[in-house]
Every structure is written in structure tokens, then in C-alpha cells.
């Protein structure tokens, strides 16, 4: 194995693969070139060190003589009446809900002395089981965002709620009496009570028309499902039960559907460490996605060819006898007969062996496999994939328990077009944006912003400024979700409740309350309204023995209530709806996708999310056009070249990113960037792709026949990949064996389970090992389950007060995140094999950093932690230089002050900081602390309760956030901890073991299910 890995040429970027001298040179240096440029001694002040010391001494002496005996120590101000549940110094948790784009996540909000500091998953949530996506972790920053709207305004002049509400009520009454349309724009309404308020609003103002918008929607999937089965419930998929998963341009692990649920269930099927079972994931895709990155076998296919692919796959399956022709209707048979796998292989250039393997695996694992089509694919592809799943008996993997409710539909292009026409004709009296941003979310070519300029009364209800509020006359600020009441119903039979955890920070209101105050003349308390609705809708139907008050408070405490389920009608698949679908392969294919960190752009004004590196390309703060190496050569473009992409007469400019594994002549672009008037962080970050979208079809995300021209301009992307390079040059001199990534295949593992442990030498030390009399903290990361999704980074940022540094600093390699996910490629740029590995401080027993610190700022604790005393650190950076893993981060600036003119350093944003973790200042080194604050909390509890610490009791932030439970943390001195079990497992290894630094982070080698002994 080790020899194989040694010869396997692992590379981290295209440039490295081509042995670009610049990259090879860069790898020899500790920091990327330019990192220390600001510190040219010639540019520093001429004020000499001696003079400085003299002044310092003089002023100290002066201060010493001037001050009094006792320094003032300030005051302690206790509560007047301390709330029973609040104990200063201890966190209090409240259950609530985060909802976005038709999905909801049960959360627990951690508050300290009444101020929310962290959002965690609610373990009682039966769907998400205590896990939440990165944008929910980071959403705490939105509450303390200095860009939030703070008071109601009329024509950008500050006003009061009374005046605004009166003016709007009279405008609405006027519109109503004139019978002119009042247009209400909203996103998916998932709250039954909000829907009820809207119904009341419609009753009061009959001319109201509601438009629902959703950028990057899953309309193709939903409408296909409705056509196939005529059901209003979309089942989730039992990924854990599937032996074979075939993802067709689908990134179900990255950005489609409820990714948290998908990842957790998928990982259950990949738990080779304990179950010895491994599902097999095929990915057939054009863009390199997180799912493709994790697949066992990946095929590159232009997304336009997906329909032909599924047809020829069906043909092959029929030949293999997976289903008979008698099960099919004539139109389906004729479609299938037209395509064969051999012809398809010839046309697409894919290896026929691999294609046949997919068919064979599917035929052999009937009712234990699943095909899943991506959101971007046409409805007709979805319909055919549904049919195939039916024929193969895979519908047994559909999980109807708490399926997705898919009642609400987005507005059709015709509706929106007629709205624009009505605007232009002056037939619209008022436009109300109910927490929606239609100007950004709808295709630019619809001409909405021009049309809205003809409407006089535009009312925007929004939490933060955006493109639409900028055009509005009345801007009404809304509560953040942590300040508001609510209920959400996104899954069948489940209702999640949302409660405020802090009183409003600004002069804001709840959106439902505003609507209700327009309906009734006197103000309505939405809390009471919600309770009443809950009483009639839930309490009265649930036949609880408790009285209402108890029931309500219990439900609020749990955050989640099971309700009566909508019944599901089992309808048979009507094969006549399968239609042919032709595409042309002229020109380039453009694939437009959602982005990983902040989805459709609503949360773009969040520095933590902007700085989260893209899980595949590691680019932060930008979107880009991902192209294949060969396509780039054909177009004569290199990385960072600005290219112009034109489709159907629309064009946008984007920087190039050469992405290994892209299908040729395919360009993948992400949405959500290029915001305008949306706050300091989001403004002008990246490029607006919505200009490319089709106003005639809101769910078209694949565009054929595109042309690409090189503009000659250059736009620098900032990526976290090239720097922090592990010193691989060194390896070449030592038999090219470094074993940072160790992998094997299922066959190999079955044949010889301890294949990793062969050719291992015992490493011994000449010094005595450290003694750890009590606990010894350690971590294990199962690379079979780690998907590289980066949610750990987001949780770590919030827990440990990691600052946002900005694009210019990321480009210099100064990002401060304590975890980075290293992504390695092996193989060729066309067919790369991707490995992801979270890299954080390894808390080595023989830590090289500790020996070189001149001031003992970094030292070893008796429980095995490599700890930092920030106050001692003088910033020599010797430790970083000596760290073989390159996980130490240096504060080149006080980054809070440095980022965007102190945007995140103000009284308000300071509240986001975790009070248990020191806020680091300029000139000190920092790194992962294994969440020592959590260890200390557990230790405190154990001492108080006079019991030993449970070896699995401490949870680090990354561990609690990991959707797949890849990370375990605990006491490695205790035989009963998961960490000890993982450390002793045959697949365990340490990175750079031969240095004998004895790291305390154990990795479990990834096993690939590739059907052969080679990777």
C-alpha cells in the first residue's frame, strides 16, 4: 500500500501537477510570498527602539508615582430581580427554528446573560438530529450585523412606525377602493400562521396578489414528482439503506435539498470502521461537486447528455433483465430502444466498462439502489429517473415518514411577465416585499427594477438593506429570526416553533405583526396570535391530556411538535408522461448552481460565510467560471483570466478557475454573488449570474450554445489552496513516501484488513515520554465519513471568535480559520481522485512548536493539550515555522479593526464574541485549542458532582457540528472512549508519523469502493 501511495502522484492544483516552477519554489517557503511584505523595515517608523524604551521608561515612572494606592476595580452590577433560569457565567439554551427556502432546522440558541452567542442544532429534531448547515452556524453574525436596518424610513428619511403604518394603511385602502392590484412578493412561506395572516390580508384587501420567488429552486424535481405520483409530499431518501447510489449531476451532499439529513444518512452507509459495510457512490456530472469529490467512481458528462445517458442506461438494464419490456408502455420502449450504452459511450467518450459497471451494479442491487437526478436537470430527466427507480424497485428506499411538503409553488414566468407589464401600464397600486428580494432573485432580463421604478408605493419589509429596499419608498425593518416568533411546517407531521431569545436590538418589528396592524387598526400581539393559532391547529387536534398552557410551554421548550400527518395517496406511475427531450451540443454548456456557503445570496452579507473556502476549489470571496483544463487550453485562457460568457444574447463576465474533473466544454457558475446595496460585506463581491438566467423559465439552470470570449482582463481570485502547502519537496528525497493521505480499496481491505499497518517501523524516542496521569485529550477523524463540507470550520469560527480577514488578506495567506480542509488530487487533471482531510492543531506529545518558543507562550498541559498563553506571545512565529502541519495562525493585524474599516469592531458586533474565549489582538499566534473552554466546563461539572469525567463527555465545536459524526473527541487514556477505539483500529494512522511528534489527532484511512484493488 505504502509503495502505491508513494508512486501515486498527489497534487493540489493544476499548476503543481504541471510542476510549475513558481509553485515548486513557493512550496519551499514557510509563508506565501507577500505575506510579510507589509513589514519591510525600511518602511517602518524611524523612531528608534532605544528612544521608544526611554519614553516608555519615563512614562512608566511617571505613572507609578502619580497613581494612588489602589486601582479602581470597577463595579459589580447584579440584576434587580434575577430571572430564575439565568446564572451569570453559565449559558442558557433555548429551542428555536431557522427556516430558509422551504427547509427548516431545529436549533438550540446558546445565550449568555441574555445575549445569544451561538446557534447549535436541536438534538430533538427528528430530521436533522442536532445538526445544522454552516449558514445557520454563521447566522448569529446577522443578528449583530452593523448593516441591519434600524428604524423605519420613508424615502430614505427616518420616520416612526406610527406615521409609516398610517400612510401605508391609507395607501392600501385607496388601492383597494380603486380595485388596483397590490402585489406581495414573498419567498416560500413555511409558517402556517404566516399563511393565515396572509389569508386575512387577502380578505381585507381583495386586490392582493401574491408572488412567490425562489432563486435556485428545486422546481424540476418537485413538478416531476407531482406529475409522476400526483402527491403533495416528496419523500426523503434512505441513503443508508442504498448499496448503490448513482448521482446524476446531483450534489445531494453539497447543496441540494436538506443536505444535513442527506449527509448524515449517507455516512451511515459508509461506516466501514464499525459495520464493515460500504455503499457505492457513482457520480455522473459535468461540474466537480462535493458529491463528485466523494464518489467512488466518477464519470464526467456534459449535463446536456444526461437524458440520453439515463435512456441508454435503461436500455442496458433491460438487456440485463432488470425489468421486462412488458412493464413498459410503448412510448417508453421506443425511447429506450433508440439509445444503447455502446452508442452512448462512443458519443460521450466515456469508458464503456465503467458504464456497464453502473448498469450491472444497479441490476444486481434491485430495490437496494437509488438513482438521483440533480436540481438543475430538466423535469423530463427527473420523470425518467423516477420511472427507472420504480422499475428497479428502488421506491422502497423512499422515506415517507416526515416527507417534504411541496404544496407551495413559485410564480410562473407568465405571471411575473404580466406583473411587469401591469407595472409599466401603471396598473399596480402598491408592491409589498415581504422579506423577499425580487429585484435580485428574479432573472435580470425580466426588467423588474425598471418596472418597479414606475410604481410609486413600494413597501419593503426586510431585515437588511438589499437591491429591492434600495428602490422602495417605505422601508420597514424586520426582526432577526432570533428576535421573532414563528412556526414552521416543512415536513409532514412536524411543526417546529421559533421563539425570540433576545429583545429587539433596534426599532424593528415582526413581519406578521406589521401585516396585522394594516388589517386591524390597533396593534396585534403576534405572540398571542401565534398561540391562538397553535391552539386551534395543533392543541385541539392532538388530544393532549395536559392543559393548553403546559402544552404550549412544553412544545416551546422542545422546539418541535408532532402533528397529524397529511395522508399520502399511493398513485401508480403513469408512463405516458415520459416524453422525449432533445438538446443540442453546439458551443459550450453553462451550468448555473446554488453556492455552498450562503445559498441564494440572502446571507451574503456575512463575513464568516464569505470567507468559508469553497469545498472543492477553496476559493473564498468570489464566484468564478469553472472550466476543464483542456477547455482552457482550447480557449487559450489561464486561471484568473476574465472571460465573457454569452448565452441567448445575454452575457456576463467572470474570472476563470481551471477545475480538475470538469467535463469538457462545460462551464459551472455559482449564484448568490454580485449583490448591490446589500451591506459593506456583500457589496460587489463576486459577479451577478442572475443576468444570465432565463426569464421564460425560472427553473432552467443548464444553457447550451454558449460562446466564450477572452476579454484580456485579469481578475485575481483568492484561494486558500496554494499556500499552507505541506512541504512535499522533502518527500521526493525520501522515497516519495510521506503518507499524509492513506487510502485503500474495499477489495484490498477485505483481503488484508491490516494492510495499512504493514511496512510500519516502530518509532522510538531518546527522551522519556510525557506522563499523563489523568485524562489525555485526543481526536479522531474518520476520513470515510468526512465529506469536506466545511461545516466544522463555520462552527469553529463562531465558538472561538475567529475574525474575518477579507479577500486581500486571504490572497496573502492570512486567513485565520483554525481548521482547514486540505484537498488533494491524484490521478490526472481529467479524471482526478479527490481526497479531503481536515487539518487542525494535532496537539502533539512531542510538539516541535513548544521547544522553540522563546517565551514559553506555547506549552504542554498535563492533559495532553498544546496550549497557548496569548499574553506571553511576542510574535516571533518560530512555532509556526517549526510546525510540520502548518496549523498556526498569526494575527498580522488586529483583524477586527483591519477588515473593511473596522466594520466588525463596534459595540454591537462585539456581542457576538464567546465570552469564554479570549479575543486575540495583533501580533500573537493562535491555533486550535481543542475547545478548552468546553473541557473546563465538563471538568467543573464533574468536580461539582464529585464524579470522574466521562471519556466521551467533552464535545468540541467541530465535533458537534459534523453532520456525519466523522469527528470524535475524548480521553485516550480511557479504554472506553470512542477515540481510543478509533486509535486502535486497523485503519488508523497519524499524519507525518515518522517525525515522532506523536500527534493526538488520529485519522482513519479512506476506503474506496472501486471494484478493483487500485484506487
Q: Which of 7, 697, 871, 976 binds another protein (CB under 8 A)?
A: 871
Give the shortest CB-774-to-another protein separation in angstroms. Answer: 6
Q: Does 49 bind another protein (CB under 8 A)?
A: no
Give the shortest CB-82-to-another protein separation in angstroms. Answer: 4
Tell me the sheet residues that pair with 823.
836
Choice between 90 and 158, CB closer to another protein: 90
Three-state DSSP at 673 gives coil
Q: What are phi and psi of 377, to 5 degrees?
A: -70, 155
CA distance 101 to 96: 17
Choice between 421 and 936, CB closer to another protein: 936
Choice between 88 and 426, CB closer to another protein: 88
Check the CA dihedral 200-204-206-210 and report its sign. Answer: negative
Check the CA dihedral 955-958-959-963 and report its sign. Answer: positive
**Binding residues with another protein: total (CB under 8 A):** 37
Q: Does 767 bind another protein (CB under 8 A)?
A: no
Q: What are phi and psi of 991, to 5 degrees?
A: -75, 135
Choice between 83 and 649, CB closer to another protein: 83
Q: Strands 702-714 and 641-647, how do they pair?
A: antiparallel
Q: Does 78 bind another protein (CB under 8 A)?
A: yes
Q: Which of 4, 6, 3 is closest to 728 using CA atoms?
A: 6
In sequence order, which residues have a C-beta less than 8 Å from that of residue 490 and are 6 or more positions away? 99, 102, 103, 104, 190, 404, 405, 496
Choice between 80 and 766, CB closer to another protein: 80
Lookup result for grid cell 434587580: 80
Tell me the sheet residues that pair with 11.
825
Q: Which of 936, 975, 976, 1012 binds another protein (CB under 8 A)?
A: 936
Choice between 77 and 157, CB closer to another protein: 77
Give the shortest CB-793-to-another protein separation in angstroms. Answer: 26
Q: Which of 543, 773, 901, 907 binds another protein (CB under 8 A)?
A: 773
Give the shortest CB-909-to-another protein separation in angstroms. Answer: 20
In sequence order, which residues have a C-beta less than 8 Å from that of residue 162 and are 6 or more positions away? none
Environment class of 520 (CB within 10 Å of its CB; exposed 0-12, middle 13-18, buried 19+): exposed
Q: Which of 155, 567, 584, 946 binds another protein (CB under 8 A)?
A: 946
Q: Which stretch binds another protein (CB under 8 A): 115-123, 264-272, 687-695, 932-940?
A: 932-940
CA distance 449 to 446: 9
Q: Which of 43, 771, 901, 907 binds another protein (CB under 8 A)?
A: 771
Q: Does 57 bind another protein (CB under 8 A)?
A: no
In the shown chain, the binding pattern of residues 9 to 48 toward another protein, with x for contact by CB under 8 A and - for none, equals ----------------------------------------
Choice between 523 and 848, CB closer to another protein: 848
Q: State the SS3 of 106-137.
A: EEEEEEECCEEEEEEECCCCCCCCCCCCHHHH
Q: Which of 878, 876, 887, 885 is closest to 924 using CA atoms?
A: 876
What is the Cα Rg of the chain in Å? 29
Q: Which of 743, 780, 739 is closest to 763 using CA atoms?
A: 739
Angle, alpha carbons 28-30-31 (nearest 5°): 115
Q: Does 66 bind another protein (CB under 8 A)?
A: no
Choice between 64 and 766, CB closer to another protein: 64
In the shown chain, the binding pattern of residues 910 to 929 toward another protein, with x for contact by CB under 8 A and - for none, equals --------x-----------
The three cell numbers locating residue 541 = 387536534
In sequence order, which residues have a C-beta less than 8 Å from that of residue 8 and are 6 or more positions away? 826, 1015
Give the shortest CB-779-to-another protein separation in angstroms. Answer: 21
| Most distant CA atoms of the chain, gap in Å | 101
Q: Does 76 bind another protein (CB under 8 A)?
A: yes
89-148 positions binding another protein, by CB under 8 A: 89-90
CA distance 699 to 511: 28
Q: Does 859 bind another protein (CB under 8 A)?
A: yes
The three cell numbers locating residue 115 = 445575549
Q: Does 69 bind another protein (CB under 8 A)?
A: yes
Q: Does 230 bind another protein (CB under 8 A)?
A: no
CA distance 647 to 692: 7
Choice between 256 and 926, CB closer to another protein: 926
CA distance 471 to 454: 10
Three-state DSSP at 66 gives helix
Give the shortest CB-907-to-another protein separation in angstroms. Answer: 18
Q: Does 87 bind another protein (CB under 8 A)?
A: yes
Q: Does 764 bind another protein (CB under 8 A)?
A: no
826-855 positions binding another protein, by CB under 8 A: none
Choice between 46 and 68, CB closer to another protein: 68
Site residues, another protein (CB under 8 A): 61, 64, 69-71, 73-82, 87-90, 771, 773-774, 856, 859-862, 869-871, 918, 936, 939-940, 943-944, 946
Amino acid at each position: 500500500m505504502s509503495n502505491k501511495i508513494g508512486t501515486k502522484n498527489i497534487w493540489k492544483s493544476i499548476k503543481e501537477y504541471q510542476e510549475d516552477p513558481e509553485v515548486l519554489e513557493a512550496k519551499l517557503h514557510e509563508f506565501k510570498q507577500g505575506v510579510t511584505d507589509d513589514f519591510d523595515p525600511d518602511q517602518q517608523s524611524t523612531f528608534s527602539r532605544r528612544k521608544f524604551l526611554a519614553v516608555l521608561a519615563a512614562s512608566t515612572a511617571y505613572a507609578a508615582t502619580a497613581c494612588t494606592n489602589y486601582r479602581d476595580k470597577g463595579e459589580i452590577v447584579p440584576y434587580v430581580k434575577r430571572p430564575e433560569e439565568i446564572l451569570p457565567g453559565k449559558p442558557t439554551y433555548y429551542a428555536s427554528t431557522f427556516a430558509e427556502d422551504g427547509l427548516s432546522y431545529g436549533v438550540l440558541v446558546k445565550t449568555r446573560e441574555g445575549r445569544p452567542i451561538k446557534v447549535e442544532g436541536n438534538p430533538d429534531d427528528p430530521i436533522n438530529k442536532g445538526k445544522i448547515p454552516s449558514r445557520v452556524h454563521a447566522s448569529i453574525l446577522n443578528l449583530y450585523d452593523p448593516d441591519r436596518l434600524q428604524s423605519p424610513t420613508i424615502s430614505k428619511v427616518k420616520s416612526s412606525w406610527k406615521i409609516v403604518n398610517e400612510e401605508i394603511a391609507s395607501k392600501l385602502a385607496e388601492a383597494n377602493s380603486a380595485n388596483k392590484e397590490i402585489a406581495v412578493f414573498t419567498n416560500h412561506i413555511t409558517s402556517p400562521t404566516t399563511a393565515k395572516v396572509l389569508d386575512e390580508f387577502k380578505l381585507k384587501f381583495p386586490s392582493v396578489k401574491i408572488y412567490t420567488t425562489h432563486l435556485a429552486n428545486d422546481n424540476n424535481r418537485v413538478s416531476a414528482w407531482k406529475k409522476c405520483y400526483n402527491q403533495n409530499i416528496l419523500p426523503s431518501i434512505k441513503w443508508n439503506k442504498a448499496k448503490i447510489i448513482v448521482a446524476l449531476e446531483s450534489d445531494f451532499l453539497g447543496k441540494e435539498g436538506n443536505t444535513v439529513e442527506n449527509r448524515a444518512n449517507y455516512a451511515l452507509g459508509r461506516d466501514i470502521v464499525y459495520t464493515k459495510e460500504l455503499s457505492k457512490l457513482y457520480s455522473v456530472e459535468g461540474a466537480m461537486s462535493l458529491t463528485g469529490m466523494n464518489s467512488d467512481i466518477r464519470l464526467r458528462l456534459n449535463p446536456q447528455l444526461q437524458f440520453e445517458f439515463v435512456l441508454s442506461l435503461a436500455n442496458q438494464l433491460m438487456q440485463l433483465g432488470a425489468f421486462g419490456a412488458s412493464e413498459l408502455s410503448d412510448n417508453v420502449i421506443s425511447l429506450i430502444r433508440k439509445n444503447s450504452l455502446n452508442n452512448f459511450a462512443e458519443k460521450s467518450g466515456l469508458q464503456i466498462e465503467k458504464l456497464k459497471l453502473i448498469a450491472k451494479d444497479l441490476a444486481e442491487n434491485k430495490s437496494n439502489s437509488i438513482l438521483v437526478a440533480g436540481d438543475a436537470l430538466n423535469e423530463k430527466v427527473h420523470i425518467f429517473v423516477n420511472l427507472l427507480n420504480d422499475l428497479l424497485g428502488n421506491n422502497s428506499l423512499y422515506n415517507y415518514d416526515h416527507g417534504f411538503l411541496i404544496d407551495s409553488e413559485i410564480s410562473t414566468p407568465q405571471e411575473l411577465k404580466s406583473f411587469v407589464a401591469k407595472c409599466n401600464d401603471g396598473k399596480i397600486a402598491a408592491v409589498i416585499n415581504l422579506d423577499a428580494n425580487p429585484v435580485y432573485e428574479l432573472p435580470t432580463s425580466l426588467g423588474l427594477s425598471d418596472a418597479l421604478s414606475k410604481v410609486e408605493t413600494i413597501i419593503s419589509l426586510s431585515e437588511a438593506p438589499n437591491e429591492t429596499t434600495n428602490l422602495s419608498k417605505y422601508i420597514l425593518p424586520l426582526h432577526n429570526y432570533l428576535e421573532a416568533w414563528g412556526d414552521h411546517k416543512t415536513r409532514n407531521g412536524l411543526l417546529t416553533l421559533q421563539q425570540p431569545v433576545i429583545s429587539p436590538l433596534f426599532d424593528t418589528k415582526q413581519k406578521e405583526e406589521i401585516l396585522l396592524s394594516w388589517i386591524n387598526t390597533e396593534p396585534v400581539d403576534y405572540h398571542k396570535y401565534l398561540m391562538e393559532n397553535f391552539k386551534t391547529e395543533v392543541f385541539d387536534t392532538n388530544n393532549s391530556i395536559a392543559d393548553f398552557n403546559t402544552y404550549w410551554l412544553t412544545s416551546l421548550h422542545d422546539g418541535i411538535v408532532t402533528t397529524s400527518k397529511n395522508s399520502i395517496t399511493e398513485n401508480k406511475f403513469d408512463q405516458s408522461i415520459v416524453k422525449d427531450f432533445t438538446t443540442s451540443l453546439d458551443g459550450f454548456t453553462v451550468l448555473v448552481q446554488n453556492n455552498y456557503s450562503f445559498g441564494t445570496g440572502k446571507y451574503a452579507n456575512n463575513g464568516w460565510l464569505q470567507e468559508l473556502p469553497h469545498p472543492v476549489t477553496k476559493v473564498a470571496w468570489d464566484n468564478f467560471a469553472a472550466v476543464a483544463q483542456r477547455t482552457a487550453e482550447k480557449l487559450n485562457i489561464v486561471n484568473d483570466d476574465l472571460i465573457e460568457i454569452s448565452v441567448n444574447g445575454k452575457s456576463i463576465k467572470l474570472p476563470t478557475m481551471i477545475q480538475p474533473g470538469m467535463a469538457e466544454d462545460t462551464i459551472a457558475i455559482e449564484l448568490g454573488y454580485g449583490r448591490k446595496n446589500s451591506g459593506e460585506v456583500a457589496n460587489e463581491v463576486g459577479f451577478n449570474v442572475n443576468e444570465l438566467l432565463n426569464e421564460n423559465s425560472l427553473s432552467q439552470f443548464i444553457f447550451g450554445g454558449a460562446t466564450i470570449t477572452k476579454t484580456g482582463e485579469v481578475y485575481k481570485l483568492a484561494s486558500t489552496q496554494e499556500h499552507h502547502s505541506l512541504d512535499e519537496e522533502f518527500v521526493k528525497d525520501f522515497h516519495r513516501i510521506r503518507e499524509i493521505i492513506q487510502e485503500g480499496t474495499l477489495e484490498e481491505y477485505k483481503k488484508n484488513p491490516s494492510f495499512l499497518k504493514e511496512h510500519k517501523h516502530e518509532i522510538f524516542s531518546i527522551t522519556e515520554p510525557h506522563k499523563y496521569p489523568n485524562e489525555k485529550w485526543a481526536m479522531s477523524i474518520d476520513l470515510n465519513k468526512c465529506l469536506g463540507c466545511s461545516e466544522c470550520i463555520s462552527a469553529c469560527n463562531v465558538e472561538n471568535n475567529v475574525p474575518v480577514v477579507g479577500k486581500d488578506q486571504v490572497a496573502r495567506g492570512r486567513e485565520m480559520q483554525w481548521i482547514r480542509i486540505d484537498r488533494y488530487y491524484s490521478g490526472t487533471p481529467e479524471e482526478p481522485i479527490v481526497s479531503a482531510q481536515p487539518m487542525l492543531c494535532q496537539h502533539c506529545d512531542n510538539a516541535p512548536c513548544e521547544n522553540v518558543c522563546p517565551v514559553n507562550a506555547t506549552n504542554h498541559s498535563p492533559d495532553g493539550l498544546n496550549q497557548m498563553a496569548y499574553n506571553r506571545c511576542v510574535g516571533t512565529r518560530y512555532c509556526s515555522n517549526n510546525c510540520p502541519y502548518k496549523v498556526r495562525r498569526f494575527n498580522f493585524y488586529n483583524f477586527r479593526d483591519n477588515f473593511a474599516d473596522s466594520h466588525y469592531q463596534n459595540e454591537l458586533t462585539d456581542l457576538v464574541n464567546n465570552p469564554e474565549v479570549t479575543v486575540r489582538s495583533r501580533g500573537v499566534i493562535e491555533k486550535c485549542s481543542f475547545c478548552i473552554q468546553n473541557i473546563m466546563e465538563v471538568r467543573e461539572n464533574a468536580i461539582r458532582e464529585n464524579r470522574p469525567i466521562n471519556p466521551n463527555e467533552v464535545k468540541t465545536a467541530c465535533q458537534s457540528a459534523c453532520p456525519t459524526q466523522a469527528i470524535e473527541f475524548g480521553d485516550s487514556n480511557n479504554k472506553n472512549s470512542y477515540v481510543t477505539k478509533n486509535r486502535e483500529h486497523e485503519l488508523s494512522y497519524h499524519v507525518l508519523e515518522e517525525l515522532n511528534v506523536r500527534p493526538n489527532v488520529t485519522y482513519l484511512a479512506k476506503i474506496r469502493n472501486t471494484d478493483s484493488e487500485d484506487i
